Amino acid sequence: MDDLTYTLRQLCLRNRDGSHATQADRQRSLTLAARQLCEAGFRQMRASSLKGTHVEALLQRWQAEGLSAGTIKNRMAHLRWWAEKVGKAGILPADNTKLGIPERRYMTNESKAKELGDGLNRITDPHVRMSLRLQAAFGLRREESIKFQPRYADRGDHIAIKGSWAKGGRDRAVPITTAEQRTVLDEAHRLVGLGSLIPANKTYIQQRHVYDGQCKASGLSNMHGLRHRYAQMRYEALTGWKAPAAGGPSSPTQRMEDDHARQTISRELGHERIQITATYLGR
């Protein structure tokens, strides 16, 4: 292992910002950056050696590879994290457009919503089955549904999501508005009691592997689509009409209701920016 890869790995181990998934994505991204810098001729680097020329070389490569604006922005976020941790935050401008990176496009009216359907019946692990049902009922991310602790989360009229379960480490609340949600929660209580959806004899990573393996064996893929379905159902409940991605009007006349619904759904899904709701709801 070269010095740059090693010192970046140590940097990640000392600074555990965000969820486990965020940390894993960051380490993979920085390991890739280290390899690509070596391929570009930058030798004998350490994490503290980062300079603007290194950022420029990586950015030029990524743009030449035709990567999407979203992928490049994610990688730039990891480079900014690196620069900040070694005291060199000033070498990267805060605005990506100054680096020639276009704005990420969230606009789409293609629905990515998914339902569990018969695939759920082929899931043999009861904890995985419950995680999937919680994803569908509350629009949870995979990690949140695996780490879910019914006793902690159930607050009667809403569920509380711990920051340690969530992307970005942000706490949030999701309202309980349907009988189906209450039924799923009650069954989760009965399944795990005081524990979580991670069995006592497993770690999170081990249970995530079980989840992924069970989904693959059952023909279930892209379960993030359950969040899309939740968002579209919430939009219809809040506005009275279907979301554009689900066949609703692309320019609803009641703009105030549309904006309010999008703000509400953005918070429930754990996003900071209302623009990202276009990914789930369309425009």
pLDDT tens profile 79-120: 999 999 999 999 988 777 777 776 655 555 778 888 998 889
Tokens 């189906």, residue located: 180
Confidence at residue 237, expressed as pLDDT on a 0 to 100 scale:
96
Q: What is the CA radius of gyration of the chain?
A: 21
- In the prediction, which pLDDT does 46 show? 96
Per-residue pLDDT tens listing for the chain (283 residues) = 789 999 999 999 999 888 888 888 899 999 999 999 999 999 899 999 999 999 999 998 888 887 777 888 889 999 999 999 999 999 988 777 777 776 655 555 778 888 998 889 999 999 999 999 999 999 999 999 999 999 999 999 999 999 999 987 889 999 999 999 999 999 999 999 999 999 999 999 999 999 999 999 999 988 989 999 999 999 999 999 999 999 998 877 788 999 999 999 999 999 878 888 988 998 8
Paired sense of beta strands 172-175 and 158-161, if any? antiparallel
Per-residue pLDDT, 149? 98
pLDDT at residue 7, as a whole number: 96
Q: Residue holding tokens 């894993």?
A: 24
DSSP string, the chain: --HHHHHHHHHHHH---S-HHHHHHHHHHHHHHHHHHHHTT--S--GGG--HHHHHHHHHHHHHTT--HHHHHHHHHHHHHHHHHTT-GGGS-S-GGGGTPPPPP-----------GGGGGG---HHHHHHHHHHHHH---HHHHHH--HHHHB-SSEEEEPTTTSGGG--EEEE--SHHHHHHHHHHHHHHTTS-SS-TT--HHHHHHHHHHHHHHTT---TTHHHHHHHHHHHHHHHSS--GGGT--SS-S-HHHHHHHHHHHHHHHT-S-GGGHHHHH--
Per-residue confidence (pLDDT) for residue 8, from 0 to 100:
96
pLDDT of residue 272: 77
Asked if residues 264 and 234 have their Cβ atoms less than 8 Å apart, the reply is yes
pLDDT in tens, 18-49: 888 888 889 999 999 999 999 999 989 999 99
Question: At a CB cut-off of 8 Å and minimum separation 6, what does 178 contact?
Answer: 137
How high is the pLDDT of residue 104? 58
